[in-house]
Structure 1
Amino acid sequence: MNHNNDISAAELLQRLKNQEVLNLLDVREHIEYHTRNIGGQNIPVGKLAGQLNQLPYNLNDEIIVICSAGLRSETAQSILEQNGYQNVRNVTGGLLAIEKIQSL
C-alpha cells in the first residue's frame, strides 16, 4: 500500500477553501452522508466494488476518499487501486479530523 499519498484534513480544507474542483468520494453509509458531509459523491464502501462503473473518474485522476475516521476510506483506497486507479488519496483522520480543525 502506498500511503504516502494520503492527504491531511488541513490540506483538504485549504483546497476546498480555494474552491478547487476536487474528485471527492465519501464512502460512508448514505444516512451518515445525509447527516453531514463536505460534498462529493457518496458510495458506501461495501457497494464500491460493484459500482466502479458509475465513477466519473479517469484512472489517473486524483480521487480523494473520505469517511468518518479514515478506516473505511483506506479500504476504499485499496479497492480503487486494485482496479487500476493510480492517484487515490485517503483523508487522514477523516471527517472527525476536519471537524476538529473547523471547531478551533
Structure 2
Amino acid sequence: MDTILPSEIKERLDRGEQLAIVDVREDEEVAAGIIPGAKHIPLAQLPDRLSEIPQVEELILVCRSGNRSGRAISFLEAQGYKGLKNMTGGMLEWED
C-alpha cells in the first residue's frame, strides 16, 4: 500500500497544489477539523457513494490513525481504483 506523510500533503497544499483527498472518518470526528479541500465520505458510505470519488492519478485517503483509510484503499482497489495513497498516522499526525 502506498503511503504519504501528513507533512508532504501540507507542503503540497501550501504550494497551492490541488489534491484529491477523501476523509473516511465519522461526522463527529470531522467536526473537530478536516484537511482543507478534502471530501468527507464516512467509510461505511463508500459503497453507496462511489460516484463521488474521483478516478484520478493520485487519491489520498485519510482517517484518524490510518487504519480505516487502509480498509478504504482495499475496498477501492477491488473496485478498480488506482493511484491510492494512505496518509500515515492519520489526523492524529496532522498539524494545522
User: How many percent identity over aligned positions?
Assistant: 36
Q: Structure 2: 5+ residue runs without aligned partners?
A: none
TM-score for the superposition, normalised by structure 1? 0.84
Question: What is the match of residue 76 of structure 1?
Answer: 72
Deviates more, 1:5-14 or 1:83-92: 5-14
| Aligned: 1:16 with 2:10 | no
Counterpart CA distance in 2 for 1:8 and 1:35 is 20
Counterpart CA distance in 1 for 2:58 and 2:73 is 11
Give the total of aligned pairs: 95
Counterpart CA distance in 1 for 2:49 and 2:71 is 15
Which of 47, 56, 60 matches 2:45?
47
> Aligned AA for 1:44?
P
| Aligned: 1:36 with 2:33 | yes
Shift of 1:13: 1.2
TM-score for the superposition, normalised by structure 2? 0.90
| Aligned: 1:65 with 2:67 | no
Counterpart CA distance in 2 for 1:86 and 1:95 is 23
1:66-86 CA-partner distances (Å, limit 9, x unpaired): 011100100111111111111
**For the aligned residues, what is the CA RMSD?**
1.3
1:61-102 CA-partner distances (Å, limit 9, x unpaired): 310000111001001111111111110100000111123xx5
Shift of 1:38: 1.1
Bigger radius of gyration, 1 or 2?
Answer: 1
